[in-house]
Chains A and B, each alone.
Chain A
Amino acid sequence: MGLHLEQTSTGSRLIIDGEMTVHCAWQLRDEILALLPQEGELSVELSGVSEIDSAGLQLMLQVKRSHGPALRFINHSPAVLQILDIAHLAAHFGDPMVIPSGERTFGQS
């Protein structure tokens, strides 16, 4: 897993790569806490997330809660889309997501 922060024209962008699982939850939490800017627009890029479990989902919830509406998750990877679908949390985060056709595996709204 890897984490880095980029400055863009509209604000900051946090890029998470690799797995967001219980195996690296502490590391992710610490690094996110250290990197997370206090204010301003923040987008969290999830396209590189290869694997995510409940611990990762909790991290997403945490980040969202601590940063509020100025935070958006973008470019959800298939693994992220799937877990949001299962946990039925897409509406909670309210981020636009691209759902590939036919990839919907689970649940209905």
Chain B
Amino acid sequence: MLDMQAAQQTFFEECRELLQQMEDILLAFESGASDEDMVNGLFRAAHTIKGSAGLFGLGEIVRFTHVVESVLDRLRRGEIAIDSELVSLLLSCGDQIASLVAAAAAEIEPDEATRRGSNELLVRLQAYLPTPAGGSPVADVAPAHEPVSASGGGPLGADTWHLSLRFSPGVLKMGMDPIAFIRYLGTLGDIVHLETLADALPAFSDYDPEACYLGFELDLRSAASREEIEAVFEFVRDDAQIRILPPHARVEEYIALILELPEDSARLGEMLIAGGALTRRELNGMLAAQASEAPGRQRLGELLVHTGMVSPPVVEAALEKQKQTQDKRQIEARSVKVPSDKLDLLIDLVGELVIAGAGTQLLARRSHRVDLSESAAEVMRLVEDVRDAALRLRMVQIGEVFGRFPRVVRDLSRELGKDIELKVSGAETELDKSMVERLGDPLMHLVRNAMDHGFEPPDVRLERRKPARGSLALNACHESGNIVIEVKDDGCGLDRDRILAKALERGLVQPDQTLSDDEVYQLIMLPGFSTAEKVTNLSGRGVGMDVVRSGIEALRGSIEIHSQPGEGTAIRLCLPLTLAIIDGFLIDVGGSRFVLPLDMVVECIELDAGAEAQHSDYLNLRGEVLPLVRLRELFKVDAHRARRQNVMVVHYAGRRAGLVVDELLGECQTVIKPLGVLFARLRGISGSTILASGEVALILDVAALIGEVTRLGGRKVAAARAA
């Protein structure tokens, strides 16, 4: 099925990609890189956008892009040189095309401001063109919606259509390839016969290699309707000769076709015979009849009207209108926009289903009926698939957020007079859609902050034996069921002493407090905290980092700050991947059930009796110090102590700890139920869940537990050092 509207959606997507590509290349130019491929890439992107826009009759985009393309063409031929001014202009042009595309996608006419923007840019572009082009540069590309003259009724059955195609000479220059149309037709049915006509090709020395001289006669066996076949040529047919004869067309129609086409009638007749559309006898008979009835011209005209090849305009208009509504309906069916709360409801329900399914499975197992257990297991497997599929509906690539930063970094480095290069990696990492939307602001603050405060001016950098050009890295990756996003610069690093001094001054810490580096760095996340000597229009007001912290905490994430004076700062955001359902590991402490997110579990070991007797806070795990968290003590569980204790080794953000528990009950699927407001400030617990048996279990907040134990540990070490 061919649907121009669907193709148009693809075009919009493609446009965005191409524009991004152009922007990347332009930014690369600005950072000093330059080679022929890049110029060609730019030209190709503009050319493709123009061509496809022409294909969809988006005249405004064609008009604008054509001029951009002409400038790029001169650039490609070395007639003009690229400089930063041109790069800036082309970047603005890219933005302009993007807004035109956006307007087209929303099916609205570009507003007055956009039009004015186009015109201003066009005027500036003219400076790069040889002479102000006489008249409209794209007068030959007119968006038109004139349907091809129809012959007779609709499809008469799944049979052979005859198509005569004579493309206009300009079709190649408009970025469309006749061969591509034929290839496309091939998707509608079988091309039973095809003849390429090169008769119009002039002699070698005086032909224009960019013009199209080819014609095609082809027979298509297809069940497609006339509309579908016509839609293939929708945007070339106004200046191309496209004739479509339906299956079982009357012989007169073929004759009319033959007479109408520029090539020799006898030759065309042969072709139709070869294609099986006509028999030789029919052809001869008709040609003879035609010749005998003079004057032929007039007769032909009558024939055309008679067979309906020239439809009255009213009918055409009605058909066109009908077709548009039909197209509209089809596109609506193709992609469905769903409000995200409906999706959330679905995920909630799937969560309930997982719990209920687990309950059923448990009952089935208890019944000791093999067939029932098997069936329950199968249902459970499907439920899990449904869960995964439901969650995947919300997953998008983080590149969507990262994509805007190259431009931000470029514009900011200009504004700040610093030379900073952005490196992005892991843009394909996926995470929940709702998180992507909420990550934009925190990341923007981090990037701006790093650029404003993080980097020394170029001369200072050289003094410190660093490359004059600063490097800012944006990385994303999955790490133990979390997504980790890192904003890393190779600038001056955080000034521990100054932060501490500022904090003392503001009474945020007491003079006798000993703080670890990490704790000091975390201070910059406090509201209103700024060490900046001057407030710039970018940052320094002490608002940014606070926004980052609240933004990330709202997503149940955490922030780590690593910094080396003189070497740079890395800010790592750890965020949970999913918001609703996790694979958990069920444990028991004195009869209370707890759930750990499974992907944070590294291993389970038995706590040996010797270590237990010492009641040590640490465990020697293969030569490594592993801090222990005794859940029994932490949660003050009074119940009888189990004979044997186990240690769950968990990790989070590169740190490990051991949780001492009584019993290991195995894996389970868990739907996170948030705790009520009353428990909002409870540390170490992130939520609750209902087990298959109907019991309630608490979900441990491993991040907080590890934070707790390493903080306590740090204190102790610091205290020991102080003593």
Inter-subunit contact A58/B201 (CB<8 Å): yes
Neighbouring A residues of B183 by C-beta, 8 Å: 86, 106
Q: How far is the CA of A54 from the CA of B177 in the complex (A)?
A: 6
Q: Is the interface of A mostly helix, strand, loop or mixed?
A: helix
Whether A99 is near chain B, meaning CB under 8 Å from some CB there, is no
Inter-subunit contact B207/A62 (CB<8 Å): yes
Inter-subunit contact B194/A57 (CB<8 Å): no
Chain B interface bracket (under 10, 10 to 19, 20 to 34, 35 or more): 20 to 34
**A33-B204, A55-B209 in contact; A61/B198 too (CB < 8 A)?**
yes
Q: How far is the CA of A108 from the CA of B193 in the complex (A)?
A: 8
Inter-subunit contact B179/A87 (CB<8 Å): yes
Inter-subunit contact B195/A86 (CB<8 Å): no
Inter-subunit contact A54/B210 (CB<8 Å): no
Inter-subunit contact A26/B209 (CB<8 Å): yes
Q: B121 to nearest A CB, angstroms? A: 24
Q: B398 to nearest A CB, angstroms? A: 33
Neighbouring B residues of A25 by C-beta, 8 Å: 172, 209-210
Inter-subunit contact B196/A92 (CB<8 Å): yes
Q: How far is the CA of A89 from the CA of B173 in the complex (A)?
A: 23
Inter-subunit contact B179/A86 (CB<8 Å): yes
**A58-B201, A61-B201 in contact; A107/B177 too (CB < 8 A)?**
no
Whether A53 is near chain B, meaning CB under 8 Å from some CB there, is yes
Q: How far is the CA of A107 from the CA of B183 in the complex (A)?
A: 10
Q: How far is the CA of A62 from the CA of B201 in the complex (A)?
A: 8
Whether B298 is near chain A, meaning CB under 8 Å from some CB there, is no
Contact of A22 among B182, B201, B203, B210 (CB under 8 A): B210
Which residue in chain A gives the minimum CB-CB distance to B76?
A23
Inter-subunit contact B201/A59 (CB<8 Å): no
Q: How far is the CA of A57 from the CA of B40 in the complex (A)?
A: 22
Total residues of chain A contacting the partner, CB 8 A: 27
**A28-B209, A53-B177 in contact; A62/B196 too (CB < 8 A)?**
no
Whether A104 is near chain B, meaning CB under 8 Å from some CB there, is no
Neighbouring A residues of B204 by C-beta, 8 Å: 29, 33, 62-63, 65-66
Inter-subunit contact A54/B214 (CB<8 Å): yes
Neighbouring B residues of A63 by C-beta, 8 Å: 204
Inter-subunit contact A58/B179 (CB<8 Å): no
Q: Mark A18-57, 1 if CB is under 8 A from B, else 0.
A: 0000110110110001000000000000000000011101
Neighbouring B residues of A86 by C-beta, 8 Å: 179, 182-183, 186, 194
Q: How far is the CA of A77 from the CA of B212 in the complex (A)?
A: 23
Q: Mark A73-109, 1 if CB is under 8 A from B, else 0.
A: 0000000000100111100100000000000001110
Q: How far is the CA of A26 from the CA of B208 in the complex (A)?
A: 8
Contact of B212 among A23, A26, A54, A107 (CB under 8 A): A54
Q: How far is the CA of A104 from the CA of B191 in the complex (A)?
A: 14
Q: B519 to nearest A CB, angstroms? A: 59
Neighbouring B residues of A22 by C-beta, 8 Å: 172-173, 177, 209-210
Contact of B172 among A53, A83, A108 (CB under 8 A): A53
Q: A20 to nearest B CB, angstroms? A: 10
Which residue in chain A gives the minimum CB-CB distance to B177?
A53
Neighbouring B residues of A92 by C-beta, 8 Å: 196
Q: How far is the CA of A22 from the CA of B173 in the complex (A)?
A: 7
Q: How far is the CA of A83 from the CA of B186 in the complex (A)?
A: 13
**A88-B195, A106-B183, A107-B194 in contact; A57/B214 too (CB < 8 A)?**
yes
Question: For A57, A58, A65, A108, which residue has the most chain B Cβ atoms within 10 angstroms?
Answer: A58
Q: A10 to nearest B CB, angstroms? A: 24
Q: B426 to nearest A CB, angstroms? A: 31
Contact of B179 among A23, A57, A61, A107 (CB under 8 A): A57
Which residue in chain A gives the minimum CB-CB distance to B192?
A108
Q: B241 to nearest A CB, angstroms? A: 16
Whether B652 is near chain A, meaning CB under 8 Å from some CB there, is no
Inter-subunit contact B194/A88 (CB<8 Å): yes
Contact of A58 among B195, B203, B213 (CB under 8 A): B213
Q: How far is the CA of A5 from the CA of B173 in the complex (A)?
A: 29
Inter-subunit contact B172/A54 (CB<8 Å): yes
Neighbouring B residues of A106 by C-beta, 8 Å: 183, 186, 191
Q: How far is the CA of A7 from the CA of B201 in the complex (A)?
A: 29
Q: How far is the CA of A47 from the CA of B47 in the complex (A)?
A: 27
Q: How far is the CA of A15 from the CA of B70 in the complex (A)?
A: 31
List residues of B (230-289) whose CB comes within 8 Å of A's CBs.
none
Question: For B173, B196, B205, which residue has the most chain A Cβ atoms within 10 angstroms?
Answer: B196
Q: How far is the CA of A70 from the CA of B191 in the complex (A)?
A: 32
Could you list 30 A-B pairs, sorted by A, with CB under 8 Å?
A23-B43, A23-B44, A25-B172, A25-B209, A26-B209, A26-B210, A28-B209, A29-B204, A53-B172, A53-B177, A54-B177, A55-B172, A58-B198, A58-B207, A58-B209, A58-B213, A58-B214, A83-B179, A86-B183, A86-B186, A87-B194, A87-B196, A87-B214, A87-B216, A88-B194, A88-B196, A106-B183, A106-B191, A107-B186, A107-B194
Chain B residues close to A by CB (< 8 Å):
40, 43-44, 47, 172-173, 177-180, 182-183, 186, 191-192, 194-196, 198, 201, 203-205, 207, 209-210, 212-214, 216
| 15 further contact pairs, Cβ within 8 A, besides A58-B214, A59-B209 | A22-B173, A26-B209, A26-B210, A28-B209, A53-B177, A54-B178, A54-B179, A55-B172, A61-B198, A65-B201, A66-B203, A86-B179, A87-B194, A88-B194, A88-B196
